């Protein structure tokens, strides 16, 4: 594709991490910007296909704001950097994570393939724009997946230009890709990625990139596609967990154990504060077992709600980040006077394969949510939207829900009695002890029905131990731990 100014740029420079939301998603915030180069031959325009090489599964998209340099920049100061930008447009920094191993650090083959840098479709005059007031949005198949603004950048545009120009002269026509916000992930042939940049008045229009598969195999000479857990996590984002989230035997064991029994066993291990207090199931008879994915709400601040509460906010991102077997756990500070979940997001969580949702805040559309059949535990029904009390803030962080500390990856178990948090490393021994406790309680129940008093029987005392062992031997399905 010809360069938008009519000539090929001398270089395309891409920033690794720049949006605060992306840094939080990655779990690291750099002190200084870092960069890599993309070849000018990677440029493409709107409606041009991004071709996924055969053998590659992890084709990532990254909606970005592209700066086109208008005048030569060498050793400029940060306050003068923006003056050297002539145009602003939308970009998609595409790449295949399956080939990152081949050029670790340089990203040459993983990010530099022909057509892997679509830009356009329109150029906005930088002189008419406030660089700190631009909005970047990305859609996949019509669904908004990235939505952020440049007032959240770690390194403003002028700082990037000043930093680069200390040692690298920027020439007219050079392109700088300024980083992607949270929400970048993986796409496949048949998907369509769309990116738009604007300020509310001016817009680049929609940069549209259909994804297609290559028509030929990748030649056998040279490095071949390869991936591992770390690359998959990097490609999909922080919420990606490959394979089953929870071993089937552990899941079955927790599911067969009453929450009250689990709570008692946790207390015996010196963990008396593992219950999520004040929540109850939207539907009676609910059983829930899954792995925690977390969402934190902060108290409403009207001046921040437009920035954090609208668009693809943390609440919606949390739902879209869910993987099968996860339970979305929401920290709403035990404030049920506004909704934190409604029927549409509950339906989407169910479609994502969620094992359930827990919120110590309010539930909207409670009857419709109950009809879904998705296990949902909440602090109370309320008709109000979250903007009455809450600002959705961040996901995938330790939270306090109903007085319990919940970390991503904790095991969450719920039934009609409530919800408890189970540390994963304790699950196996906890299940064994829960089974023994419930076995003893079945024996005790039989004795009470037969007229026995509870003194020395409940809990099971020494005087009843021999009779209990005999009972277990007669009831061989009661196990071997008597």
Angle between helices 427-449 and 465-474 (to 10 degrees): 100
**pLDDT confidence of residue 480:** 45
User: Cα(71)–Cα(86) distance, rounded to whole angstroms?
Assistant: 8
Judged by DSSP in three states, 153 sits in: strand
DSSP label at 233? Answer: H
Angle at 88 between CA 83 and CA 89, to 5 degrees: 170
**pLDDT confidence of residue 147:** 94
* pLDDT by position in tens, the chain (length 482): 444 446 799 999 999 999 999 988 887 889 999 999 999 999 999 999 999 999 998 999 999 999 999 999 999 999 999 999 999 999 999 999 999 988 877 899 999 999 999 999 999 999 999 999 999 999 999 999 999 999 999 999 999 999 999 999 999 999 999 999 999 999 999 999 999 999 999 999 999 999 999 999 999 999 899 876 667 778 887 545 555 678 888 999 999 999 999 999 999 999 999 999 999 999 999 999 999 999 999 999 999 998 888 888 999 989 988 888 999 999 999 999 999 999 999 999 999 889 999 999 999 999 999 999 999 999 999 999 888 999 999 988 899 999 999 998 899 999 999 999 999 999 999 998 998 998 999 999 999 999 999 999 998 899 999 999 999 988 866 544 44
Strand ranges, E, within 4-142? 12-15, 35-38, 43-44, 50-52, 59-60, 63-69, 85-92, 95-96, 117-125, 135-140
**pLDDT confidence of residue 482:** 44
CA 463 to chain centre: 54
**pLDDT confidence of residue 405:** 97
User: Cα(24)–Cα(304) distance, rounded to whole angstroms?
Assistant: 18
**pLDDT confidence of residue 106:** 87
**pLDDT confidence of residue 1:** 45
Ramachandran angles phi, psi of 321, nearest 5°: -85, -10
106: Cβ contacts below 8 Å, ≥ 6 apart: 36, 37
- SS3 labels along 330-395: EECCCCCCCEEECHHHHHHHHHCCCCEEEECCEECCHHHHHHHCCCEEECCECCCCHHHCEEEEEE
**pLDDT confidence of residue 180:** 97
**pLDDT confidence of residue 5:** 47
Q: Are 67 and 43 in contact (CB under 8 A)?
A: no
Q: CA–CA distance from 41 to each of 56, 162, 217, 287 (Å)? A: 20, 26, 21, 55
**pLDDT confidence of residue 478:** 52
Cα-atom radius of gyration of the chain, to the nearest Å? 28
347 HSE (CA, 13 A, CB side): 9
- The size of the chain, in residues, is 482
Judged by DSSP in three states, 262 sits in: helix
User: Cα(188)–Cα(97) distance, rounded to whole angstroms?
Assistant: 13
Q: CA–CA distance from 442 to each of 338, 459, 463 (Å)? A: 42, 12, 17
Q: Are 444 and 463 in contact (CB under 8 A)?
A: no
- Biggest CA pair distance of the chain: 95
User: Cα(428)–Cα(421) distance, rounded to whole angstroms?
Assistant: 14
User: Cα(134)–Cα(465) distance, rounded to whole angstroms?
Assistant: 73
User: Cα(330)–Cα(317) distance, rounded to whole angstroms?
Assistant: 13
């Amino acid at each position: 594709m010809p360069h938008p100014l009519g000539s090929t740029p001398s270089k395309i420079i891409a920033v690794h991490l720049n949006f605060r939301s992306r840094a939080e998603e990655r779990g690291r915030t750099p002190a200084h910007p870092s960069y890599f180069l993309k070849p000018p031959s990677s440029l493409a325009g709107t409606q041009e296909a991004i071709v996924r090489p055969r053998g590659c599964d992890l084709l990532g998209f990254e909606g970005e704001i592209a700066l086109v340099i208008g005048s030569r920049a060498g050793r400029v100061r940060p306050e003068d950097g923006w003056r050297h930008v002539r145009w602003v447009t939308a970009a998609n920094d595409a790449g295949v994570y399956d080939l990152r191993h081949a050029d670790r650090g340089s990203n040459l083959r993983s990010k530099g393939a022909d057509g892997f840098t679509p830009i356009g479709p329109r150029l906005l005059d930088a002189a008419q724009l406030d660089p700190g007031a631009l909005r970047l949005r990305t859609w996949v198949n019509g669904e908004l997946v990235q939505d952020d603004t440049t007032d959240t950048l770690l390194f403003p545009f002028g700082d990037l230009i000043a930093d680069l120009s200390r040692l690298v002269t920027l020439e007219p026509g050079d392109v700088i890709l300024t980083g992607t916000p949270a929400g970048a992930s993986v796409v496949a042939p048949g998907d369509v990625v769309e990116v738009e940049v604007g300020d509310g008045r001016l817009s680049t229009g929609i940069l549209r990139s259909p994804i297609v598969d290559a028509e030929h195999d990748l030649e056998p000479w040279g490095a071949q596609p390869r991936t591992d857990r770390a690359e998959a996590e990097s490609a999909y984002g922080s919420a990606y967990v490959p394979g089953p989230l929870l071993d089937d035997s552990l899941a079955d064991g927790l599911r067969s154990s009453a929450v009250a029994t689990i709570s008692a066993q946790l207390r015996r291990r010196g963990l008396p504060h593992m219950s999520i207090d004040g929540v109850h199931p939207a539907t009676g008879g609910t059983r829930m077992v899954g792995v925690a994915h977390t969402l934190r709400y902060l108290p409403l601040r009207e001046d921040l709600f437009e920035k954090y509460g609208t668009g693809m906010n943390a609440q919606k991102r949390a739902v879209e980040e869910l993987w099968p077997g996860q339970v979305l756990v929401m920290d709403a500070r035990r404030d049920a006077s506004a909704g934190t979940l409604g029927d549409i997001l509950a339906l989407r969580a169910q479609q994502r394969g969620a094992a359930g949702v827990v919120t110590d805040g309010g539930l909207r559309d409670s009857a419709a949510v109950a009809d879904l059949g998705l296990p949902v535990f909440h602090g109370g029904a309320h008709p109000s939207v979250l903007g009455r009390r809450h600002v959705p803030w961040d996901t995938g962080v330790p939270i306090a829900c109903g007085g319990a500390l919940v970390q991503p990856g904790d095991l969450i178990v719920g039934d009609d009695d409530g919800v408890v948090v189970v540390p994963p490393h304790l699950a196996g021994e906890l299940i064994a002890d829960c089974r023994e406790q419930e076995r003893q309680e079945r024996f005790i129940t039989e004795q009470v029905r037969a007229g026995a008093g509870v003194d020395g029987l409940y809990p099971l005392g020494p005087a009843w131990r021999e009779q209990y062992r005999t009972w277990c031997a007669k009831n061989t399905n009661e196990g071997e731990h008597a």
